[in-house]
Structure 1
Amino acid sequence: MTDKKEKQAIGLSYDGFNAPKVIARGFDELAEEIIAVAKEHGVLVHEDPLLSDSLAKLNVGDEIPRELYIIIAEIIAFAYLLDGKFPRQWEEG
């Protein structure tokens, strides 16, 4: 018997107006495929087992729950910065 935890991947989409939604969800081999496709398209892949466990309870099409807004907002902001997108206030100063 092994205690190996299954690999999981949850993809989110954010339109800038509504709460982020789950657009992909998979485990083991499907999780590997989701991660590979995300990386091929330059999508930030963030590893956080606790966050992943929370998001894995959602279905494709579900919005993230309010209790995850702050952490997801921080990850989205970080992804924007990595992509060279900065708040207007930073450019005006």
Structure 2
Amino acid sequence: MGILCALAVLVFVLVGAADWSVQHWLFIRDKRMSKDEQKREHKDSEGDPELKGKRKEFAKELVFGDPRERVAKAKVMVVNPTHYAVALAYEPDGFGLPQVVAKGVDDGALELRAYAHNQGIPIVANPPLARALHQVELGEAVPEALFETVAVVLRWVDALGRDNDDGSGPLPC
């Protein structure tokens, strides 16, 4: 009788262990996310992959694109005669604020300046403004602290007209 009880206890323990492991496996399997749930969670946490890709593509184009193409979109080039050149684009109907579309230092600044001159883009020598604008990232709007100064430059450019002059004359105060 003792052996029979020991055998019954052993069988119950083995069946219990097997049942526990099967139940544990079923529980884990049921709690796993489906492929759709995984996609939805990734989209919620990381953002829509399509939009993310478009943002990356735009950023690459902005950073690695040809600076001459970006300068061609500029309304004015603000320079510190030899060290800095910053191209500003402004479309009141578009973004609404002037944006930095290209910038260069030293040799890069001279290249951008020459290209702007060849394209007939007005070039304004304003060293403090050029240094301040050079701190702005490509594609970013001009900071609020520079609105007044940039507005004066843009009004001068509008008054000048691209076909009258190369724009490299003095900026009226």
CA displacement at 1:70 relative to structure 2: 1.0
- Name the aligned partner's letter for residue 25 of structure 1: K
1:48 to 122, 126, 138: 126
Identity %: 27
Query: Structure 2 length normalisation: TM-score?
Result: 0.44
2:161 aligns with: 83
- The RMSD of aligned alpha carbons is 1.4
Query: In 1, distance between residues paired with 2:150 and 2:102?
Result: 16
Does structure 2 conserve the Cα–Cα contact (< 8 Å) formed by 1:25 and 1:59?
no
Structure 1 consecutive aligned stretches of length 4 or more whose deviation exceeds 2 Å: none
Structure richer in helix, relative to its length? 2
1:13 aligns with: 89
Q: Which runs of 5+ in 1 are unaligned?
A: 1-5, 85-93
Larger Rg: 2
Q: Which runs of 5+ in 2 are unaligned?
A: 1-81, 163-173
- Name the aligned partner's letter for residue 9 of structure 1: A
**Count of residues paired in the alignment:** 79
Query: In 2, distance between residues paired with 1:22 and 1:35?
Result: 15
